[in-house]
Structure 1
Amino acid sequence: MMTGTTAVLDAFAAHLRALELPLPVEGAEQARAETAAALSQLSDHVIPRLDSLDAPLLVVIGGSTGAGKSTLINALVGHPVSRSGAIRPTTRRPVLLHHPADEPWFTGTRILPGLARVHAGQRRDPEAPGAGDTTGDVDPATSLELHGQTRVPPGLALLDAPDIDSVALGNRELARQLLRAADLWLFVTTANRYADAVPWEVLRTAAERDVTVDVVMNRIPAREGVAEELAEDLRGMLERQGVDVERLFLVPETEIDPEGMLPPAVITELRDHFAQLAADGEGRGRIARRTLAGAIDGLAGSATDLAEHAAVQDAERKRLREQAVASFSGARERIDDALGDGSLLRGEVLARWQDVVGTGEFFRGVESLVTRARDRLGQMVGGKPAPAIAAEQALGTGLVHVVIDETARGAELADAAWRSTPAGRHLAEGRDLSRLPDGYAEEVSAAIRAWQGDVLELVRAEGADRRTKARLLSLGVNAVGVALMVVVFASTAFVPTGLEVGAGAATAVVGQKLLETIFGDEAVRRMATVARQRLTDRLDALVAGRSALFLDRLDDLGVEGAAAQLHADAAALTQLAHDIREDA
């Protein structure tokens, strides 16, 4: 079959490690925990087991606090190897018992690679990982204590796990991690604790993942009929919860000797069961494959769940992106409105332009106005270009103010929209995204000056031939450039509605006529188109630069599209589990 074929699992693990669930949307914390659990199960059990189906069967012995797990293990090997006592938690560092011949399977990182290995009786380097583990600490153990025991039959290994209901959170998590690494779970409970809620939660998880489970009911009162009554009740509970138990072992309440050892006779049935299992290679293989297939099916379910969470994250990122884009698109549209409605051709700009064309009777006959403008502009050749430069500066200043005001407004709208949801607040946390960044005003001014330089270059290039050059020089490059800027600033849809707006309209008409007298209709249309596109490009870049402060926050969250990958992983994992069952 597919021994050693772990490509599906390796791909899934890679996708889990790359999975980004950064936004605090509903279920995100649970999904991050499920991701960590899936990665743990892959490395602790699923990948190593699929890669080595002939490795010893790992029996993890787990259960409630004080259920007697360590006492049972000690009885199975004939002497104390796992500490038990009244102080909780009683089992701190997990203890793994194996036959000496099976040691190579466990000394490396084939299973449970996150736990350092400590051999029984080994003097430990105080700086080594796990060397600081001590009984009674709050933090979970970070090492696995290995015991080579001849009383443990070859082909089988026993792992004493921390309590699944430990008072220490870290120990509870470690217990669940070890149970996920099990080929077979030996659940230990007692006559007065078998109905506790926490163990049943873990048992239901085992049932969902088709883990092979054996149960020990410990400390049964030695009264006639009690064992049978309790066993019937426990079997009924297991059946109602859908937990398929292979074997149920009943251990009576018994005196222990001064070393804490049970009489060997009380665990004869359990010891014989393990001996028979160790001798039955085919049976061990069936258990390993069944649990492996169940674990992979469980991972397929996790992949589907995580795909849904990834899709929710992507949808939230899309919504936040759309909010930011819409806010700045609105800012960009408002800038275009200001360019096209004639508002930039009023006030200071209008006054400076009137200085250039030199008329106080602005609305009398456009043709005579053009003539007077040419006469006036001709008088400036000889070192008097100040009115044209002042008009150029007024145009630039007006546009700079519009760009800064509208992008600031866009940023405020985007920031307010983001802060209305937990995900947006998470992205905006620690930064005032609505504030103009340092140097932004200078950046806008530089961009507008650069565009005005583009316009002057267009004028020079178009006036290169001898006839046009003479006309251009007679008026001045700056003055003609201002006329082209005026034309660009005026919209073809502009309809005057009042005296000041009408002045703006006439301003644009005068600019158009001045340019046509120099370059001709076709050239003016071409120049205006090029100048307008270059202005559009610079304005787009300015607004995009401002919105990037928002969009970069989203881009920093990582790559989207994990949902599709994880759905594909789920299908591949389901097929792999099916193939393993077929092989079994």
Structure 2
Amino acid sequence: MSAGQLAESLSHLRDALQRARLPLDLPGSTLTGRLQRDMVAQLDDYLLPRLDRLDAPLLAVIGGSTGAGKSTLINSMIGRAVSRTGVIRPTTRSPVLVHNPDDAHWFGPDRILPGLARSLEAANDTRTLQLVAEPTLPQGLAILDAPDIDSVVAENRALAAQLLAAADLWLFVTSAARYADAVPWEYLKSAAERSAALAVVLQRVPPAAMTEVPSHLGQMMADQGLGDSPLFAVPETVTDADGLLPDQAVAPIRDWLAALAADASVRAQVVLTTLDGAIGAVCRNAPKVATAVDDQASAIEQLRADAEGSYREAVRTVGVQTADGTLLRGEVLSRWHDFVGTGEFFRAVEQKIGWLRDRLVASLRGEPKEVNGVKLAVESGMEILIREEGEAAAERTETAWANQPAGRQLLGATRVDLSHASPDFQAHVALAIRNWQADVLELVSSEGASKKSKARFLALGANGVGIALMMVVFSTTGGLTGAEVGVAGGTAVLAQRVLEAVFGEDAVRRLAQRAKQDLDARVEGLMASELARYETVLDDAGIRPDAAQGIITAVADVNEVRGSDQRLTAPTREELEGFKATATQVADRPALTADVVEAELLSGAEGSEPDQSSKSYLSQGEQR
């Protein structure tokens, strides 16, 4: 299995995570969004660049609490000031990376942490990485001074987390006064969960507490699964004129790092162990983002269903009330009476239909103003009905959305007033009704021109026949069958009988059905246009339901490739014993370094007590 295949699968996972959107403020979405951004950043800053060059130098990131003395520690290990120190916090704003001059090519802008600009001079911003070449630093090792993890400046805290996520090795610095603080332990627990290579430096330990404090910290580390990580205890002491600690105070840490850099195979094991732990953590955490995407998509679909249901109800209501005789009342009925005459008009409809038909024919032929009056009344009645239902649908949708956190968020974020129909809804309704009436007239004109009863049609006129068809349409349901149901029923019966005299019964039924279907379609189109406002708000949220499955698929691919990569396995005890011997040969202080390496890498191994010189720098009782 090649590193290229693993990098390719991780790139797909990175893209899948990047595509996921969590815009809705649902429970847990803020934390999941931060987790998502952190994983993408780690893939960009560390995992993908490191997989591209596994033989790059070991990157040890020095992180820790405010005032713990990280910069002083680095300067003291190097032997000169390479990172700014001071009492004003925060001290380190831009990170400082110290490397051997021969390793400079490994830290170009396209390598580790590609998002940070490079500078050879001291900088004072969080987006610039200062590169410092130091000949005394062993080749194959680089040390990076990070800002405080608990800095008062949010940018510094974010950068510190970013740099630690890009480390092959964490060198975590705290002090005897602050080692139990909550913030450092959040990071230490994260290191344990990721199986990251880690060492802890406990600074400023009072001589009287050199046994008690390191032992307590070691026990805390063991309780959190960090019992195999080395713990260096640096005694409280004074610095020299250059602000450096005595060499004997930092020699064990420097020698331990030098030993790691000296053996390529052990250095590679540290890198691969941290790399595999980081990949494993990403694969464990990425499904949380997928679940959050599903939750967001479910919230969006619920809001969509609420809006669609409201406008579907509006379409249904209009459809019912334009067919159950509702419109054959009020102004429409009054204008129809003016048109066909009143008084004896509705008496004995069934017995005198021929006489009524003759009366209607005369009215249709001789009273064009009344015909227009009926048309206008129909137009007005339908417009009021559709507008009211459009407003009701908007109110129902807005109420449903306001009752849900996601809906409230979207309502508050949009500039569109979704509690009412759109400003141009009235104009659209009026136009739709006029167009429908025009189509009804065109429908009866086409039908009348092809019938043997053409003469009757011409006598009645297209407008009159069209009005009569509208009367029939408005009473196609609801059981209106005769004069016994009242005036509206008589109106419908009369209109239908007149049309049957012109077109025939089957044709009337067909024409009424077509006209009603056309009306329903226009109403549905009007409501769909109103619904589109809500659809736009939902779509603009940018939530892609398929993003969740994309993450799950990508995680499965990474795990499959990772499982077949023999390099990503923990080192054996024999390999670690071999490293101990190598470290002993390289270190300036063999006995101390061997003890430190043993405490770092030999989990649970039995060993002899360190000598007096090493007890000042390493608390080992809790490590064994």
TM-score (norm 1): 0.91
Match of 1:125 in 2: none
Please tell me whether the aligned partners of residues 482 and 489 of structure 2 are also in contact (alpha carbons under 8 angstroms).
no
Is structure 2 residue 273 aligned with structure 1 residue 290? yes
For residues 128 and 146 of structure 2, the distance between their equivalents in structure 1, rounded to whole angstroms, comes to: 12
Shift in Å, 1:119: 0.7
Distance in 1, matches of 2:482 and 2:185, equals 80
Report if the CA contact (8 A) 1:370-1:513 is conserved: no
5+ residue gaps, structure 1:
122-130, 134-139
Residue from 533, 537, 555 that aligns with 1:549: 533
Gap change, CA 1:186 and 1:381, over 3 Å in 2 = same
Q: 1:369, 1:388 → 2: CA distance?
A: 21
Match of 1:517 in 2: 501
Q: Which is worse superposed, 141-150 or 240-249?
A: 240-249
Contact 1:403/1:444 (8 A) holds in 2: yes
Which residue of structure 2 aligns with residue 435 of structure 1?
420
8 Å Cα contact 1:356/1:388 also seen in 2: yes
The 3 A distance-change label for structure 1 pair 34 and 253 is same
Kindly state the Cα deviation for residue 375 of structure 1 after the two structures are TM-superposed.
4.6
- 1:576 CA drift (Å): 4.4
Preserved contact between residue 357 and residue 373 of structure 1 (Cα < 8 Å):
no
Query: 1:63-462 to 2 correspondence within 5 Å?
Result: 63-120=64-121, 133=124, 141-223=126-208, 226-361=209-344, 362-366=346-350, 368-378=352-362, 380-381=364-365, 384-429=367-412, 430-462=415-447
Change (3 A) 1:276 1:19: same
Distance in 2 separating the partners of 1:473 and 1:497: 28
Q: Which shifted more, 73-82 or 562-571?
A: 562-571
8 A contact 2:482–2:493 mirrored in 1: no
Note the alpha carbon deviations across 1:12-35, whole angstroms, 9 max, x for none: 222222222111221222222122
- Sort the Cα spacing of 1:363 and 1:110 in 2 relative to 1 into closer, same or farther, 3 A: farther
In structure 2, C-alpha distance between the alignment counterparts of 1:11 and 1:267, rounded to whole Å: 43
Residues 1:278 and 1:582: Cα distance change in structure 2 (over 3 Å):
closer
* DSSP 3-state at the match of 1:267: helix
User: What's the offset of the Cα at 1:581?
Assistant: 6.0
The answer on whether the counterparts of 1:340 and 1:494 sit within 8 Å (CA) in structure 2 is no
Decide whether the 8 Å contact of 2:49 with 2:112 is kept in 1.
yes
Displacement after TM superposition at 1:370 (Å): 4.5
Residues 389 and 479, structure 1, Cα contact 8 Å, conserved in 2: no
- Of residues 79-88 and 366-375 in structure 1, the stretch that sits farther from structure 2 once superposed is 366-375
Aligned to 1:126: none
Measure the CA separation in 1 of the matches of 2:146 and 2:109.
19
CA contact (8 A) 1:327 1:410 kept: yes
What is the Cα deviation at residue 71 of structure 1?
Answer: 1.5
* Aligned-partner residue type, residue 317 of structure 2: R
The CA deviation at 1:568 is 2.4
CA shift at 1:559, angstroms? Answer: 4.0
SS at match of 1:158: strand
Aligned residue pairs total 564
Deviation (angstroms), 1:456: 0.9
TM-score of the aligned structures, taking structure 2 as reference length = 0.86
Match of 2:542 among 527, 546, 558: 558
* Deviation at residue 553 of structure 1 after TM alignment: 0.9
Pair 1:490-2:475 in alignment: yes
- SS of residue paired to 1:343: coil
Q: How far is the alpha carbon of 1:359 from its aligned partner?
A: 4.6
**Pair 116,576 (structure 1): closer, same or farther in 2 beyond 3 Å:** same
Q: Which moved more, 1:549-558 or 1:395-404?
A: 549-558
C-alpha displacement of 1:555: 1.5
SS of 2:486's equivalent in the other structure is helix
C-alpha distance in 1 between matches for 2:563 and 2:213: 37
Task: Provide the residue aligned with 2:492 in structure 1.
Answer: 508
Contact 2:22 2:543 in 1 (8 A): no
Cα distance in 2 for partners of 1:190, 1:15 equals 41
How far residue 496 of structure 1 moved from its aligned partner, in angstroms, is 7.7
Q: Which residue of 2 aligns with 1:2?
A: 2
Q: Distance in 2 between matches of 1:40 and 1:510?
A: 77
User: Larger RCO: Structure 1 or Structure 2 (Cα < 8 Å, ≥ 6 residues apart)?
Assistant: 2
Cα deviations by residue, 1:387-431 (Å, 9 ceiling, x for unpaired):
222212211211110000111011111112212233212211244
Once the two structures are overlaid, the 10-residue window that deviates more, 402-411 or 360-369, is 360-369
CA offset digits 1:525-549 (Å, max 9, x no partner): 2211211111111000111112222
Question: What is the CA-CA distance between 1:169 and the residue it aligns to?
Answer: 2.2
Using the aligned pairs only, state the percent identity.
43
Is residue 535 of structure 1 aligned with residue 535 of structure 2?
no
SS in 1 for 2:67: coil
Q: Secondary structure at the match of 1:408?
A: helix
- 2:352 & 2:411 partners in 1: Cα distance? 59
Shift of 1:495: 4.6
Q: 2:619 — aligned with what? A: none
Q: Which residue identity does 1:555 align to in structure 2?
A: D
- Structure 2, unmatched stretches of 5+, are 570-624
Residues 212 and 245 in structure 1, CA contact (< 8 A), matched pair in contact too: no
CA separation of 1:143 and 1:116: change in aligned 2, threshold 3 A: same
Q: Matches of 2:494 and 2:473 in 1, distance apart?
A: 13
Query: Residue by residue, what CA displacement relative to the aligned partner does 1:366-391 show, whole Å, maximum 9, x if unpaired?
Result: 36334433454246547x42222221
What's the offset of the Cα at 1:10?
1.9
Q: Distance in 1 between matches of 2:247 and 2:172?
A: 20
Q: After superposition, what is the alpha-carbon deviation per residue over 1:36-84, rounded to whole angstroms, capped at 9, x for unaligned? A: 2111111111111122211111110111122221112112222111111
Change (3 A) 1:14 1:541: same
The one-letter code of the counterpart of 1:50 is L
Amino acid corresponding to residue 399 of structure 1 in structure 2:
M
- In structure 1, distance between residues paired with 2:245 and 2:363: 118
Residue 208 of structure 1: how far off its partner (Å): 0.7
Amino acid at match of 2:516: R
Q: SS of the counterpart of 2:230?
A: strand
Contact 1:194 1:234 in 2 (8 A): yes
